[in-house]
Chains A and B, each alone.
Chain A
Amino acid sequence: GQSLEQPSEVTAVEGAIVQINCTYQTSGFYGLSWYQQHDGGAPTFLSYNALDGLEETGRFSSFLSRSDSYGYLLLQELQMKDSASYFCAVRDNFNKFYFGSGTKLNVKP
């Protein structure tokens, strides 16, 4: 079946670096996306990897290894406003989108 696994919760201090992992199992693969969602808000797009390697966007980087069905989101120079839930998501060959259950990031001063 289809599944995405990511840690349920991660805690880090302001200014630190944190990595959120995601492993997936889907029928076909079009790419791995990452979304951020603050409590009470809508998910917002962070990054997308279609090919293996690292994509960098400001303080956020995302990595993909298709052979390992694995990716991660790296957040650097953590700020209090980064406290939110982070979701990995994939699209399969049948135009279905799958989201992980989310990782709640707690940033402490």
Chain B
Amino acid sequence: DAGVTQSPTHLIKTRGQQVTLRCSPISGHKSVSWYQQVLGQGPQFIFQYYEKEERGRGNFPDRFSARQFPNYSSELNVNALLLGDSALYLCASSLQGHEQFFGPGTRLTVL
């Protein structure tokens, strides 16, 4: 079975632009979570979606938004990019919530 997939792998944007990151969960997984990981730190929780509904939101500004589609794939959108948004963005899918399967991530660089 395929694992969690994310696209694109790498992305370079400039300040003020908008970005959309995509995630496909493991087949059968209905829960998708998004994380931001800065080098040398642990993943920071952004959102959790289950059955297309937002179930949890971390302490991120409203510039960050997400949605989940009927096929359980998900998109993370970030508007008005700041230099500090440069990070690895991880998507994780799960069946029961505590065992999360992470994708390879999208490396976002904001110049």
Q: Which residues of A contact B (CB under 8 A)?
A: 4, 30-31, 33, 41-45, 48, 50, 87, 89, 91, 94-102
Interfacial chain B residues near A87, Cβ < 8 Å? 42-43
Assess the A101–B98 pair: CB atoms within 8 A.
no
Q: How far is the CB of B98 from chain A (nearest CB, A)?
A: 5
B76-111 near A? 1/0 per residue, CB < 8 Å: 000000000000001010000111111111000000
**Contact among B40, B56, B102 with A42 in the assembled complex (CB-CB below 8 Å):** B102
Assess the B99–A33 pair: CB atoms within 8 A.
yes
- Asked if B65 is at the interface of the complex by the 8 Å CB criterion, the answer is no
Assess the B55–A95 pair: CB atoms within 8 A.
yes
**Contact among B33, B42, B55, B101 with A102 in the assembled complex (CB-CB below 8 Å):** B42
Q: What band does the interface of chain B fall in when counting residues whose beta carbon is under 8 Å from A?
A: 20 to 34
Interfacial chain B residues near A44, Cβ < 8 Å? 102
The chain A residue with its CB closest to the CB of B42 is A99
Assess the A97–B99 pair: CB atoms within 8 A.
no
Please measure, in the bound complex, the distance between the C-alpha atom of A33 and the C-alpha atom of B43, giving whole angstroms. Answer: 13
Assess the B41–A101 pair: CB atoms within 8 A.
yes
Assess the B98–A50 pair: CB atoms within 8 A.
yes
- Asked if B44 is at the interface of the complex by the 8 Å CB criterion, the answer is yes
Please measure, in the bound complex, the distance between the C-alpha atom of A102 and the C-alpha atom of B58, giving whole angstroms. Answer: 19
